[in-house]
Chain A
Amino acid sequence: MAVCIAVIAKENYPLYIRSTPTENELKFHYMVHTSLDVVDEKISAMGKALVDQRELYLGLLYPTEDYKVYGYVTNSKVKFVMVVDSSNTALRDNEIRSMFRKLHNSYTDVMCNPFYNPGDRIQSRWALLPVSASSPGGPYFLCPYPVQVGPTSCVRSSPGGPYSCVRSSPGEPYSLCPIQSRAFDNMVTSMMIQVC
């Protein structure tokens, strides 16, 4: 199972990074960042190879003492980087390949989502963003988790599920930003739980 999965755009900025939250995430971000050099090296080596030997799966990029890093590049030069625990020796190469193929399919579905603008970050959680102006009644925003009910908040159940509706105090206005790709996030979650 993967410990960290990252999707990097062709201009080498991250579209999506997610790691299992047991340790500090920064270490994985750094690992993915350094692996980009290896990915570029492999892509340019592939460019010189014969047509028959070219493929999207790049294989093991580099091993560290605790982790192994695998890479995959799509035809649109979007890179997928997967960090796997080294102690999990049972993972075979074709299992990693199939995980990448599933990731590619999910990414293609995200691309076909009409609400997704290509080049944006792939988000799938309600994110609270500050806004500059708030409406007179105070902006209401939805949280996907129960919120402490206090003097300036109210709880309401919405048709979409167990969300609570909280009115923000004047000092901290928020607005919500939409879920774009829950399916992608679910796919990544399933990859972190089990080999698929």
Chain B
Amino acid sequence: MADTVLFEFLHTEMVAELWAHDPDPGSGVSAGSRGEEVGATTGQKMSLSVLESMGFRVGQALGERLPRETLAFREELDVLKFLCKDLWVAVFQKQMDSLRTNHQGTYVLQDNSFPLLLPMASGLQYLEEAPKFLAFTCGLLRGALCTLGIESVVTASVAALPVCKFQVLIPKS
């Protein structure tokens, strides 16, 4: 059905639009090169953080709406399981493939065929471009965790498309 691709198209456009406002970090040399390159990379970091904060707000709303009928969560692991199952199914129509933890507040969520990376390539092509397509989803996870009462830091890494890992760090208080 066309429903699943609606979000993918929107997401692709979001990333393209935010990136279009940044100058490319030029490979050649230009007069004020040092300042320009720093400006370019900070511009890219701004775009990444804008994407992440968009995901964060969406995650906050989803974290309120989705667990409505499910009972209150007992502990962190239940919340993470909810993310892997219910949240992922609601947004990407599939469950997360694996969840690992060291029980010290670090969780690694692995998705072997992440739908936002799936149409791009399979393998090592476009590896440098992949992180910007994961920023929104990192924010999504962080926002949902925040609504459910857990402050966290979420990062993503890609070894080979379309396998990606989301690392959730929950600081011990």
Contacts and interface: CB of A to CB of B under 8 A. Distances in A.
Interface of A: 10, 46-47, 51, 54-56, 73-77, 104-105, 107-108, 111-112, 114, 118
A111 B64 contact: yes
A75 B61 contact: no
Interface residues of B, number: 16
B71 interface: yes
Contacts of A76: 63-64, 147-149
A179 to B, nearest CB: 19
Main DSSP-derived SS at the B contact region: helix
B70 A75 contact: yes
B26 to A, nearest CB: 36
Contacts of A118: 60, 147
Nearest to A117: B57
Nearest to A75: B67
Contacts of B61: 111-112
A105 B69 CA distance: 11
Nearest to A114: B57
B34 interface: no
A108 B57 CA distance: 13
Contact of B72 (A10, A54, A105, A111): A54
B65 A112 contact: yes
Interface string B68-109: 101111100000000000000000000000000000000000
